[in-house]
Amino acid sequence: MKIAFRCLLGAGLCAAFTGGLAFAQAGGPTGSSGPIVIPKQPQQQPSAPVPAPTPTPAPPQYVFRQNVREVQIPVTVITKGGQFIRHLQAANFKLWENGKLQTIQRIEYTDKAPITAVMLVEDRAQWWQFIYQTMQASYYFTQEMQPQDWVALVTYDLNPRIAVDFTHDPRRIQYAINQLQIPGMSEGDLYDSLSSTLDRMSELKGRKILILISTGVNTFSHITWGTLEKRVKASRDISIFPISMGWQVREYLESSPQFQMMDAQFVQADAQMQYLARWTGGRFFQPRFEGEYPDIFREIADTMRNQYILYYSPTDTKLDGTFRKVKVEVVGRDGKPLRVVNQKGKKISYEVQARNGYYAPHEVE
């Protein structure tokens, strides 16, 4: 019992001694903490008043309305011989939209416009004359390419295929043309291929041309001609230049009674290709001889490099997505149709090539 008491007494002395040290370190009983050990708190500076939270405003409801817009109409004026008529001013043009005369605000002219073109070439199993003429026509176009031009080659039979993406190098196009010697399919899906190509070209900025080297016969397509017609009208800044192939073969078919039904398909194809050219401001060609190809593609290149751009703000400001029909005429100082003569004073006929219309944009809200 004495040993246990001494242990308890020793433990209490140790605790008392340890507590005394703690008191001394904290300031002792004479400090501000009293008999309980509490560390001194540093004096805090008065804090600035907290401002009341600003209420978060509701996001504004914006409504954007496009009340002023400008329409651009590329125009080419060429003679019957394919020569571009230069030095025309804004006063030489009259433009109607849905039958109402518009005010041309300004006009631009260039004779060095770079060409952005897609050659859509029919590549299906048929008479060898068609294949040979198609290859020759495609090859001649590459000879008109300049370093600043962008040209792509798309072939089609049952489906369209990008043979060469946009390139400055005519040798790549020529190499791909040489691969067209052995077509596989006998079907020609023209409507679908043409619609797909227009969709891809619509993503490019600026004026583009689509050179359709084809018989124009559509043997198999998912879409109808009416659907393609709407798609062509909705396209912007794209001019189609169809070149009808196989005139010699068609002459043979006309003389053979058993092929009269096939000949009727070619007649319908020509009418449709002429429609594509007329509505997009292009031109339809129907060469009868191979020697015509260089002049045809030279004329297409000159047409694209030499052009007027007419700018005007329509009097009909409604943004309703409707189709607006456009008509352009070239007039003289007296307001009558412009009279063009050669050096001998003989009257020269000419043609005004421009889009027949456009779709008005929709209002954006």
Average pLDDT over residues 135-141: 86
Q: What angle do CA 237, 360, 230 make, to 5 degrees?
A: 65
Summarize pLDDT for 225-235 with one digit per residue, the tens.
999 999 998 88
Is 5's pLDDT higher than 70? no
pLDDT band at residue 44 under the 50/70/90 scheme: low
- Name the DSSP letter for residue 49: P
Summarize pLDDT for 12-25 with one digit per residue, the tens.
434 433 444 333 34
Average pLDDT over residues 187-206: 90
pTM of the entire structure? 0.67
Is 264's pLDDT higher than 90? no
Predicted local confidence at residue 245, as pLDDT:
85
Summarize pLDDT for 150-182 with one digit per residue, the tens.
999 999 988 899 999 999 999 999 998 887 766
Across the chain, mean pLDDT equals 79
State the amino acid at position 142 in one-letter form.
T
Predicted local confidence at residue 277, as pLDDT:
92
CATH 3.40.630.30 is right for the domain spanning 116-305:
no
Predicted local confidence at residue 184, as pLDDT:
63
Indicate the domain borders of the chain. 72-91+99-108+308-359, 116-305
**Strand locations in the chain, DSSP E?**
71-79, 93-97, 100-102, 104-110, 116-122, 150-156, 160-167, 208-214, 238-244, 307-312, 323-330, 340-341, 347-348, 350-354, 357-359
Is 42's pLDDT higher than 60? no
Is 365's pLDDT higher than 80? no
For residue 91, what are the CA distances in angstroms to 95, 330, 351?
11, 9, 18
Phi/psi of residue 102, nearest 5 degrees: -110, 160
The Cβ of residue 55 has, within 10 Å, a number of other Cβ atoms equal to: 6
Is 252's pLDDT higher than 90? no
Token pair listed for 289 = 């001889």
For residue 238, what are the CA distances in angstroms to 4, 181, 208?
111, 29, 5
Helix, strand, coil share of the chain (percent; to 5): 35, 25, 40
